[in-house]
Amino acid sequence: MSITIFSQGRNTSRWESALKEHRPGLEVYVYPNTAPAEQVEFALAWNHPPGVFTEFPNLKCIASTGAGVDHILRDPELPVGVQITRIVDEDLTQDMATFVTAQVLNHVRGLHRYKDAQRGHTWKQHSYRRTSDVVIGVMGMGVLGTHTAQQLSKLGFKVNGWSRSPKLIEGIGAYAGAEELTAFLEKANILICLLPLTKDTANILNKDTFSRLPKGAYVINVARGEHLVDDDLIEMLDGGHLSGASLDVFREEPLPEEHPFWEHPLIHVTPHIASITNPASAVSQILENYDRMRHGEPLLHVVSKTKGY
Ligand code: NDP
Ligand code: OXD
């Protein structure tokens, strides 16, 4: 009985303790320390070393420690028969909605301006838009996008969602597919990206997309850095078409020291903290899948390798 953690760039100690606490007796390994290769059946992964899974002939499941699985699927040497699962968790979903809401409200109410004003002891009131005057477009109406859209709608924003298949959710406008993308973008004063990273969605936040947004639109990317064409964003901000951007994810993380996003006055950078899986909350679904795997039962939250999410 063992689970092996494969992770580069994230501390694994909270996962190790959560697994041991919830399943006393379970052997928990952190690669490169493993059980004998033929005994390794269940992997918990975040940014694993590419090709590493070929070392384990009986591997049955690779469980992402996050909601996204692009970090797993990008490995060209992924064993064919292995199932891939992801995290779907209430805490993760709620944390994403609160983070995005904070970014939206900070922008709409222009709160950052008062921090700057305070530094200069300047008392100056600025006008602001009411939530009902702002249209928000959410790209990706899955677990995270749907909850985020519903929370923003409760605050009075007009919210539209865009996905592959139309989502009929009370109070939320539904747009789907490439044919409805322009109509969706043309209305969005704030564009939020919550898409999975796939071959169809890579580079989707580009000059062409931005130019279809109303002038002065604001962009929030909390999905993946590869959704965004960095130079296109800077060009559209400097040219005045976009009013600002809040970015939590980047092509290279940590964001390199010399990257222009750090110094750009209209870009708000956060270090991939929009929503971080809480092992104490998510461990039960990992153990549930571990048991299901051992009993040959269907796993929860399995991703489609063809769709890429
Ligand atoms: P889901 O798989 O639940 O939802 C994905 C959504 O995107 C679905 O609505 C899907 O449409 C839509 N979609 C996929 N491809 C396309 C396409 N080509 N065109 C239009 N719509 C498309 O994902 P989650 O909501 O759980 O997570 C979304 C992403 O958020 C993750 O993949 C991850 O990258 C990111 N994330 C970032 C975090 C952070 O801290 N910054 C934390 C957690 C996640 P349909 O419903 O029709 O299938
Ligand atoms: C995730 C993430 O996919 O942390 O969960 O980005």
User: Two tokens at 14?
Assistant: 């909270």
Residues 6+ apart with CB under 8 A from 251: 225, 226, 228, 230
Q: Does the Cβ of 96 fall within 6 Å of ligand 2?
A: no
Q: Residue 210 has what pLDDT?
A: 99
Q: Residue 1 has what pLDDT?
A: 83
* Active-site residue, 268 included: no
Nearest CA to ligand 1 atom 31: 68
Q: Give the residues surrounding ligand 1 with Cβ less than 6 Å away.
A: 66-68, 96, 140-145, 162-165, 194-198, 200-201, 222-224, 248-249, 272, 274-275, 309
CA of 199 to the centre of ligand 1 (A): 13
Cα maximum dimension of the chain:
69
- Testing ligand 2's pocket by substitution, the residue of 10, 90, 277 carrying the most ligand atoms inside 8 A of its CB is 277
Q: Residue 9 has what pLDDT?
A: 81
Question: 256 preceded by cis ω (within 30°)?
Answer: no
Residues 6+ apart with CB under 8 A from 65: 7, 10, 15, 44, 45, 46, 87, 277, 279, 282
| Ligand with smallest separation from the Cα of 162 | 1
Supply the DSSP string of the chain, one letter for each residue: -EEEEEESSS--HHHHHHHHHHSTT-EEEETTS-S-GGG--EEEEESPPTTGGGG-TT--EEEESSS--HHHHT-TT--TT-EEE----HHHHHHHHHHHHHHHHHHHTTHHHHHHHHHTT---------GGG-EEEEE--SHHHHHHHHHHHHTT-EEEEEESS---BTTEEEEETGGGHHHHHHH-SEEEE-----TTTTT-BSHHHHHHSPTTEEEEE-S-GGGB-HHHHHHHHHTTSEEEEEE---SSSSPPTT-GGGT-TTEEE--S-S----HHHHHHHHHHHHHHHHTTPPPSSBPPTTTT-
Give the Cα separation of 56 and 29 in Å (integer): 14
Give the Cα separation of 249 and 99 in Å (integer): 13
Q: Domains of the chain, with CATH numbers?
A: 2-89+277-295 (3.40.50.720), 90-269 (3.40.50.720)
Q: Residue 139 has what pLDDT?
A: 99
Residue 27 · residue 2 · CB < 8 Å: yes
CA of 77 to the centre of ligand 1 (A): 24
Give the Cα separation of 43 and 59 in Å (integer): 8
Among the options 224, 259, 264, 301, which is catalytic?
Answer: 224
* Active-site residue, 272 included: yes
Give CA 8 to chain center in angstroms.
18
Q: What is the pLDDT of residues 256-302, one digit of tens each?
A: 999 999 999 999 999 999 999 999 999 999 999 999 999 999 999 99
Instruction: Report, as ranges of residue numbers, the positions in the chain whose pLDDT lies below 70.
Output: none
First-last CA distance in the chain: 28
Q: Residue 10 has what pLDDT?
A: 85
Give the Cα separation of 73 and 309 in Å (integer): 9
